[in-house]
Amino acid sequence: MFILLVVLCSFTPKTDEELFIDSLLSQMTLEEKIGQMNQLDPSYESEAKEALIREGKVGSIFNIVGAKEVNRLQRMAVEQTRLGIPLVVARDVIHGFKTIYPIPLGQGATWNPDLVEKAASLTAQEAVYSGVRWAFSPMVDVAHDPRWGRVAEGYGEDPLLTSVMGAATVRGYQQSPMTNILSPVKMAACVKHFAGYSVSEGGRDYNTTWIPETQLRDIYLPPFKAALDAGALSVMCSFNALNGLPSSANPHLNIDILRNEWQSDALLVSDWGSGSDLVPHGLCADKKEAALRCINARMEMDMQGNIYTDYLADLVREGKVQESQIDECVRSVLRLKYRLGLFENPYVPEPDGENPLCYSIESLQAAEQAAVESAILLKNDGILPLSEEYLHAKKNPTVLICGPMADQKKEQLGTWIFDGEAEHSVTPYDAFYNREKPFHILYEPGLTYSRDKDPKHIAKAVKAAKKADIILFFAGEEAILSGEARCRTDLNLPGAQTEMMAALAKTGKPVVLVVMAGRPLTIGREVEQAAAVLYAFHGGTMAGPALFDLITGKAVPSGKTPMTFPKTVGQVPFYYNRHNTGRPTYEPPVLIDDIPVGAPQFSVGYSSCWLETATEPLFPFGFGLSYTTFEYSRTTVEPIADREGFYTVSATITNTGKYDAKEVAQLYFRQKSGALVRPICELKGFQKVFIPAGESRKVSFVLTPEDRGYWHEAHNGMESRVWFAADETEFEAWIAPNSAK
Ligand code: GLC
């Protein structure tokens, strides 16, 4: 049987794609092959880099944009090299191209994959017509540490939420299954950073990571697998050393898992110079050894590192590298280009004037909807929405618009903005000033930027507040405070915003706090002083209109926290799916007929300062209020007939308030004993449902053995092995509005 199978496999006809790649590869010289493994940023030293393109020594360029410029460089590759292999043009298109959507952490807060997919699709449409065919996104690094600046670029702390949103972004960018039919709006995704980058010690970017194999597989790898299952055409290495081995030179990640276990044929590209970084990492004595270690770990394209073009040919001639190793890397490069249709049509249409697809009505509407759904209502004493009826009682009230983020066109776009133009941003001040509203507005920013500490600026806001009935305080972070190499050692509002909030609250006027930031912040004091709190992250081009609609009740908040909000930075890392430990810091109250009995017990060594309890977060994962209220029925868990180990988990949610609204129903799971200690709860499903006021909706999930499974580990002397399985053990499953219920 085995022999028959081998014979059959050898006769499996090759696809057109494979035949094309075989044929092209057979014509290539060693130098031309190595050229395809080289990715350069020709936006500086352009003369030298253009010469390399003409010599066929560049496979991809990035940080170049605009149909004319891209076509100019492309003509060098296609018309001036021996084989005319086209370049693939890449760019950091992270949360929008010209039209900017909320930062990915904000998109995670929408819990709406359809919306995220639409945003990615419209983004691809804008970018492709500007010459970009490969986006260095989605970033799916599951993050537990808000000090790390790059939490802004991921979808939060949960593997499932991150997996769903990463896959949605891949689908949006790549539009349809990669059927080789050139679709002008198709752009290759690049899922990053592979892997474990977000676990950097101390939340310091690029820092060391130590991750046990089972935790790597339970928490950090699933979003990469989900993105690849969604068709992601490429993967990017991470900068960090994972358990002593930097990802670019890590055969366990790049060959054992990515190629052998997952059978992926996606292109693996380094991060910026992450191959040459092996020398400062202390792994390699010099860049030639770095090239050897990277090719032996099958890092297939060298981004801006020049180690492959400088050393690979010599390593082959010295017999240290087989040309077959080069061939398998070049196949991946040619496959990406083939699937993008670049060989048929390497050029981009050059529209007369601006790209008509940028800032389209459809894009701007999608950006506004994403900003609406990314905002989280954290507190509301009833002041919101500032609706007609609420304001009517105030007889023509005056609303003060203040704060360092109220009118910041650039800052509200957030991190990783290359092409989004601040002049297209609509700020909260713009929206409140220009739109019809049942109140007068006053505008006095007070602090003029997020790190401003000038008490005179606060005094100006307090003076204006005395003339107002209601204060809208737009606080938060400048965009530069999050993103790559933008970590913080405290999570408070920057500058003197805490002092400004206290001064505004002291006026006795109600303060609505709106936070526009790149991470969860420790805003406990400000929450106590505010009448209401909307957490909007950096909401992008249309953040202003979205916040206007939310505050005036034209839209109802539906966002939920994608990360735990700690009370203080001393609690970090703090995440919901933690282990109970042998001396739990918090035992959920026992529920008898859904009624909590007995106060939760705290027994921790923390010497809490102003914190009532240092063991509880400020806001748990999955938390978010609405202008309406929702009531959840008891959850039912029913085994599915003739499907061993499969269960239907259901609950009915009733909108008991007066606003039609969306609610994110979350399915949580917990086993209370088993082969290994397991989390006190894990998200295993979610559905965002629209429920009209007064109506009910039943939500159901299927809980599978796969959902209940996790990675086990056994050791035998020096040997160890891991395997995935579900324990046969009792478990609980429940549907709730957040992880703390
Ligand atoms: C950066 C980032 C990566 C980005 C790349 C290209 O260092 O780590 O996310 O895509 O370089 O700009």
- Tens digits of residue pLDDT in 211-236: 999 999 999 999 999 999 999 999 99
d(Cα 303, Cα 682) in Å, to the nearest integer? 37
Instruction: Please give all residues whose beta carbon lies within 6 A of any atom in ligand 1, as ranges.
Output: 92, 136, 192, 271-272, 484
How many beta carbons lie within 10 A of that of residue 84, not counting itself? 12
d(Cα 592, Cα 407) in Å, to the nearest integer? 50
Q: Which amino acid is located at 690 in the chain?
A: F
Which is nearest to 122 in space by CA: 367, 307, 390?
A: 367
- Stretch among 403-417, 591-605, 617-631 having the lowest mean pLDDT: 591-605
Is pLDDT of 668 > 70?
Answer: yes
Is pLDDT of 183 > 60?
Answer: no
Q: Which atom of ligand 1 is nearest to the CA of 192?
A: 9
DSSP category for residue 734? E
Confidence of residue 590 (pLDDT cuts 50, 70, 90): low
Spatial contact of 162 and 109, defined as CB atoms under 8 Å apart: no
Return the higher-pLDDT residue of 602 and 325.
325
Question: How many CA atoms, within 13 angstroms, populate the side-chain half-sphere of residue 23?
Answer: 10
Do the strands 190-194 and 234-237 form a parallel or antiparallel pair, or are they unpaired? parallel
- pLDDT attached to residue 594: 58
- pLDDT attached to residue 601: 42
**C-alpha dihedral (539, 542, 543, 547), degrees to nearest 10:** -140
- pLDDT attached to residue 592: 57
Q: Which amino acid is located at 470 in the chain?
A: I
Spatial contact of 472 and 431, defined as CB atoms under 8 Å apart: no
Question: How far, in Å, is the centroid of ligand 1 from the Cα of 271?
Answer: 6
111 three-state secondary structure? coil
Mutate which of 41, 63, 91, 92 for ligand 1? The one with the most ligand atoms within 8 Å of its CB, which is 92
Percent of the chain that is helix, strand, coil (3-state, to 5) = 35, 20, 45
Lookup result for tokens 């991190």: 415
Q: What is the mean pLDDT of residues 34-55?
A: 93
Is pLDDT of 173 > 90?
Answer: yes
- Output the average pLDDT for the chain: 93
Question: How far, in Å, is the centroid of ligand 1 from the Cα of 272?
Answer: 6
Spatial contact of 139 and 195, defined as CB atoms under 8 Å apart: no
* Residue range 335-383, pLDDT digits in tens: 999 999 999 999 988 877 777 789 999 999 999 999 999 999 999 999 9
Q: What is the mean pLDDT of residues 406-418?
A: 98
Q: What is the mean pLDDT of residues 13-18?
A: 92
Spatial contact of 537 and 105, defined as CB atoms under 8 Å apart: yes
The token pair that represents 225 in the structure block:
């697998």
The token pair that represents 397 in the structure block:
């009230």
- pLDDT attached to residue 129: 84
* Residue range 127-157, pLDDT digits in tens: 988 899 999 999 999 999 999 999 999 999 9
Which is nearest to 190 in space by CA: 77, 251, 272?
A: 272
Mutate which of 271, 303, 419 for ligand 1? The one with the most ligand atoms within 8 Å of its CB, which is 271
pTM of this structure: 0.95
Confidence of residue 180 (pLDDT cuts 50, 70, 90): very low
Question: How far, in Å, is the centroid of ligand 1 from the Cα of 73?
Answer: 22
Mutate which of 65, 237, 272, 277 for ligand 1? The one with the most ligand atoms within 8 Å of its CB, which is 272
- pLDDT attached to residue 9: 57
Q: Which atom of ligand 1 is nearest to the CA of 92?
A: 10
50 three-state secondary structure? helix
Question: How far, in Å, is the centroid of ligand 1 from the Cα of 205?
Answer: 12
- pLDDT attached to residue 615: 74
Shortest-distance Cα residue to atom 10 of ligand 1: 136
Spatial contact of 302 and 311, defined as CB atoms under 8 Å apart: no
Is pLDDT of 611 > 60?
Answer: no
Q: What is the mean pLDDT of residues 510-517?
A: 98
Question: How far, in Å, is the centroid of ligand 1 from the Cα of 415?
Answer: 12
Q: What is the mean pLDDT of residues 508-527?
A: 97
Q: What is the mean pLDDT of residues 497-511?
A: 98
User: Active-site residues: which are they?
Assistant: 271
Which of 711-716's residues contact partners 24+ apart within 8 Å by CB, and which partners? 711/213, 711/214, 711/217, 711/218, 712/214, 712/675, 712/676, 713/212, 713/213, 713/214, 713/676
Q: Which atom of ligand 1 is nearest to the CA of 136?
A: 10
Residue 669, phi then psi, degrees to nearest 5: -140, 145
Which is nearest to 102 in space by CA: 485, 472, 366, 401?
A: 366
d(Cα 522, Cα 527) in Å, to the nearest integer? 10
Is pLDDT of 258 > 80?
Answer: yes
| Cβ density class 436-459: b for 16+ within 10 Å, e for less | ebbbeeeebbbbeebbbeeeebbe
Is pLDDT of 184 > 70?
Answer: no
Question: How far, in Å, is the centroid of ligand 1 from the Cα of 439?
Answer: 46
- pLDDT attached to residue 412: 98
- pLDDT attached to residue 585: 60
* Residue range 295-304, pLDDT digits in tens: 999 999 999 9
Shortest-distance Cα residue to atom 12 of ligand 1: 92
**C-alpha dihedral (722, 726, 732, 736), degrees to nearest 10:** 70
Q: Which atom of ligand 1 is nearest to the CA of 238?
A: 8
Shortest-distance Cα residue to atom 3 of ligand 1: 271
- pLDDT attached to residue 354: 74
